[in-house]
Structure 1
């Protein structure tokens, strides 16, 4: 591992940038207040700033601004109501029910409002018993409101000064995730590769890339300055993001029969050279991503042209030594792997050229795309959407009920005097942080919260025991706060660990010498909240992942069919709509990512809720392969007319029919025998004849040692095209059989063959 690169990734990321902004917004006013001896009295000021800062989700400026304004208003309203009802126990429980349901339900309008809702419930927990508000409610509420407004003002100022910063960081993160993806791919060429583990890692990485691309699309395509401004920076950022999406498709095309390749060439050492080269290309992508995050220009690390030339020389040496009629097809596969690697290399070279910020290049950028169509639609904020989700059929409604029940139980437990809980609101805050719509996510965060709290409490206790210097403690507090906010979305255990440390230090500043009570309360409250969260998630209207499988499979099957037909249309039709193809590609990758994500969560569900696990796993794997093979097919620059030896019309009907059969089975719809007949067509290709002819030539004649990296024989192209079409069909057929097994009760209504 290159630790210097990892450090640069970390220090230039949007996460630490946001964490430093929030931390300084909290700490600087706190230091000023402490200097004048007012920190205890005005403690709610930095606390409010932190709450509003945590609702600031990446995205377009207008949406972020509106969400922050909503957060300021919501927090003040919740604090106001909670403060005035704190002495009325019956009304407090009604308050929990109303706020619990409402602020959980607004999550139907997207992650931004879900964050506002969750933090509003945290505010409720803080003010519910008046522990921190004191006796002068008006004074406390005004302080809290002022602290909320502070972060909004800081956001507006920073956004004005650095309008492109977030977009650059998010685009850079896309390249870093692509680099990790390529690193995984490189390991398939290493000796003794664990293919099952690597395939699992590929699927996990695809999920990360899908989620990040969706967030980045919203930020880039919906930010006026990025899309509409004619500045060099805005156009170059747009170009860099579009290139990252195209590069992702190229990386997906690298699917091959790795076992067969290892059997044929594993002993030659050539595959190890490919693995090393791909690792270097991965480093180049990381270098580009870090430069984008940091707002600097990237320069190549390696002489990739020279490195690639050496790879080709090794290939030609191997070819001249081993090529014969029996292994001709194996060498064709190897040659095409080098074609894909060359394409990826060329893409990276183009990206480096963009970093020269050539103004002519920037100004000539005109994709002709309607960007609005590439952004995943969010639910419009209207009452109808909310009303339609007020049903037990809605996963959002069921989650809201679970959150509300958990808060009611948690609050009731906190009032049990024999437990001697000193910071009861920690139970409520922990419940809100742990509980998520998916049981598996709740279970995972529950464990991480417990481990992080225990370790963090022990570390904080030792810090306070051995260190007396206020200056050193303040530095540790600031450092812990920054790391907590940095890791909150990506490393929850570490976020909780550092959160616990800075909470201990904060309370020590406010009330020195009380560390033993804080230690006991923190551990006890976390344990209680963990038990409540587990029980409620398991027993109260749970939504198991297997219940989502069918709908996600339906979407994936449909989007892969549309993706294939769009790719075939581009291939056969000179005037095909490139935007339609890119939209279909986007839908296929998003639906595939959602299905894979759901399957990963299903693994963490109780064993009795892991319905048909093996079949679902098989369906997910075949869906990945189909998408990857379609991506390979779509990479050909030539058109169908250039390959008359292949019957593309029949292949189109054959594959489309097989993909359609799967979609119809999953939707429990009948299909006509004509579809079955189409799926069994035998395309009239002449590739096999040409291949046999070439093998005969190799047997009869000496093999030429022509070493031209840019030359690919027509037969190699034909063989690859035919093989890709066969692979798409074979995997589609395997997926269709899997779909039939998934829904045996509906097979009587379907014509099967």
Structure 2
């Protein structure tokens, strides 16, 4: 009940019920229903994001449902002509989704208006009057949203930040569980990748909210503090990913030093517990600081005992891991300080122009629509598939003379999604939710005869349905069915017949949706994942380039560097999400699933290695870059370029990129690199230990990057994704 989903559902409940109640009181039910529908159809655009984007989404939704309702009011034509018109309108409205997630919600609003125009024909209003009141209903809903925002501007920011704290804590918990020998390491790695994907999605949403709010409100102390906390959480993710990636080596180290394994796990779990407390708006106990300090001190003392010739490699590995824990602790203390409501200095404020570059620009021009008007586009195929299914569903409803054929259409637009996995899951959840809701509602309406009680239950059920729609679609479908049955129980005496048709229509709509996603221009994951693989490798390659420039030129970390880091994280997350969608598809469509999974893991591993380099460079003064380093980076870059070329154009697979003799020696050295090589790469100085540590970390990561880029090539060459 504390969530923004619940507060948004309350707004929807008020927006749809108040006009109907006033319409009944003043004997203008037709106007009340029009306002109710307008508010209801415009509500999907009120989703996570900045208030500016919400407002724009609701206004566009209002305009679309007004136009669609106007057209729908004049669709009283012969069935043979209505069906192709319905298909054409469905395609046009669904095609709006090419412009992004919020555009897909606007499209959904338009489809709701189109389908439900068959459900209600106003008797006291002309079609143009009805459509104008629909538009007024959308503006009425926008007014409610604006009032709610003015009263509680911080609600969405606080909730999004809380969710990010919680996900970061779970991510750290999983990282801690990976330390030491594990029997279920592959399962933990999969869970880690999923958490990383969710976390990066939350970062994108929170980034949009914070930066857009900052542009609207200026340099407020509140907005700056939340931005600085967010930056610490982003860096916590990067630092966590920068953990040593060679778990076989770590297993060997911790078998020899089991006490240190326990120290490290205790430190991470203590930090994550404090993040859980932040997520729940609880004050973190300062005693935990002394506990972490004690653990860090004890671990450091035990590590120093290994500072000898016999255990020097273990000493360097464990020292790097200890410094990683110390960095996380520093970030935690920074978050706690920022949460204590300090007065920030002007120097702490972040430049708005630089921040705006972190937002993903949206291309809303007509050219994008024309570029996607092809069967290569997932949205084009989805729009065409949806249009054909809607026409077929309406035809079935008319031929079989169903009581409410529009319920078939409504089920189709709610269930059908561009991906097979989500459509299948929604079909199952919709049917189960409808059956469950129908059974519960049938039992209740037989005993409850008071119209006011039924009306109240209908509104409450609708609010609950909207509250849980994002988290539990099955429960949402149950409460939607309850709401529909309660409302119909007021209007019609034959409620059991209504329930019967509701179930039949839902099953038909779900079956049509599932068959369509299987047979009508399906967008299988193996057809789309090539682009995700290329984007992820390209982003990692660009991140490596930025890291190399900072190390070679000893420059400060620039905005371009941070954007490259953000894109690398985002594209790796997108690749993992694409693979998860592919894994939900029929076995016959999971082409090269093992090779693709390995590529996903390798891209994650590469990002981890790059993050290790990145965090080290940001927190240490480094020695001059050697020629060996430059040559090694060039080899890795060449390998990645070849992988991108092969993914982009499979015919390139048989062409080899010739490397110069100078690179060949470095290539061999990277392939056979061992810890002993560190001694030959640095000079003995007064800061010998630090130089050893730097050389070990950087060259160990370069060896990993080289190994990964080499492993990728046979995988990309062997992909058959057409």
Structure 1 length as normaliser, TM-score?
Answer: 0.85
Is residue 62 of structure 1 aligned with residue 16 of structure 2? Answer: no
Query: What is the CA–CA distance in structure 1 between the aligned matches of 2:677 and 2:4, rounded to whole Å?
Result: 56
Partner Cα distance (1:144, 1:314) in 2 = 68
Instruction: Kindly report which structure 2 residues correspond to 1:315-394, keeping only aligned pairs within 5 A, or say none.
Output: 315=299, 328-361=312-345, 364-367=348-351, 370-380=354-364, 382-394=365-377
Paired residue for 2:515? 535
Deviation at 1:424, TM superposition (A): 1.7
Contact 1:164 1:234 in 2 (8 A): no
- 8 A contact 1:655–1:679 mirrored in 2: no
What is the CA distance between 1:529 and its match in structure 2? 0.7
Matched with 1:211 is: 201
Equivalent positions of 1:199-598 (< 5 A) are 199-223=189-213, 225=215, 229-262=218-251, 264-265=253-254, 268=258, 270-272=260-262, 274-291=264-281, 299-301=283-285, 303-312=287-296, 315=299, 328-361=312-345, 364-367=348-351, 370-380=354-364, 382-417=365-400, 421-465=402-446, 476-511=457-492, 514-576=494-556, 578-598=558-578
Match of 1:169 among 134, 159, 162: 159
Greater mean alpha carbon deviation, residues 115-124 or residues 27-36: 27-36
Residues 318/458 of structure 1: CA separation in 2 closer, same or farther (3 Å cut): farther
Task: Give the secondary structure class of the aligned counterpart of 1:85.
Answer: coil
> What CA RMSD, in Å, does the superposition of the two structures yield over aligned residues?
3.4
Which residue of structure 2 lines up, in the alignment, with residue 734 of structure 1? 711
Q: Unaligned regions of 5+ residues in structure 1, if any?
A: 1-10, 292-297, 694-710, 746-753
Question: Mapping of 1:27-42 within 5 angstroms?
Answer: 27-30=17-20, 42=32
Displacement of 1:584 in angstroms is: 0.9
2:658 aligned residue: 673
2:644 and 2:498 map into 1 onto residues whose CA distance is 57
Is the Cα–Cα contact under 8 Å of residues 642 and 657 in structure 2 kept in the other structure?
no
Q: Does 1:723 align with 2:700?
A: yes
Secondary structure of the corresponding residue to residue 202 of structure 2: helix
Say if 1:639 and 1:73 are closer, same or farther in 2 by CA, change over 3 A. same
Q: Distance in 2 between matches of 1:467 and 1:426?
A: 25
**Contact 2:66 2:135 (8 Å CA) reproduced:** yes
Contact 2:454 2:490 in 1 (8 A): no
Distance 1:222 1:666 in 2: 36
1:615 aligns with 2:622: no
1:269-295: CA deviations, max 9, x gaps? 65355434423322322333444xxxx
The 8 Å contact of residues 107 and 114 in structure 1, kept in 2 or not, is answered as yes
Q: Is the 8 A contact 1:658 1:679 kept in 2?
A: no
After TM superposition, the structure 1 stretch with the greater mean CA deviation from structure 2, 681-690 or 307-316, is 681-690
Q: Specify whether residues 644 and 561 from structure 1 end up closer, same or farther in structure 2 by C-alpha distance, changes over 3 A only.
A: closer
Aligned match of 2:122 in 133, 138, 148?
Answer: 133
Q: Distance in 2 between matches of 1:568 and 1:373?
A: 22
Alpha-carbon separation, structure 1, partners of 2:596 and 2:605: 14
Distance change >3 Å, CA 330–CA 461, structure 1 → 2: farther
Shift in alpha-carbon separation, 1:179–1:87, aligned structure 2, 3 A: same
Shift in Å, 1:86: 2.9
What does residue 697 of structure 1 align with? none
Whole-angstrom distance in 2 between the partners of 1:490 and 1:635: 35
SS in 1 for 2:341: coil
Shift, 1:333, TM fit = 2.8
Q: 1:299 to 1:111 in 2, by over 3 A?
A: same
Provide closer, same or farther for how the CA distance between residues 525 and 155 of structure 1 changes in structure 2, counting only shifts above 3 A.
same
Quote how far apart the aligned CAs of 1:324 are.
Answer: 8.0
Between the aligned partners of 2:325 and 2:2, the Cα distance in structure 1 is 29
Tell me how far apart the structure 2 counterparts of residues 586 and 676 of structure 1 sit (CA, whole Å): 35
Moved more, 134-143 or 556-565: 134-143
Inter-partner Cα distance in structure 1 for 2:620 and 2:642: 27
Report the Cα distance in structure 2 between the residues aligned to 1:474 and 1:303, rounded to whole angstroms. Answer: 53
The 1:686/1:732 distance shift into structure 2, 3 A limit, reads closer
User: Is 1:97 the equivalent of 2:87?
Assistant: yes
Q: Please give the alpha-carbon distance, in whole angstroms, between the structure 2 residues aligned to 1:191 and 1:275.
A: 13
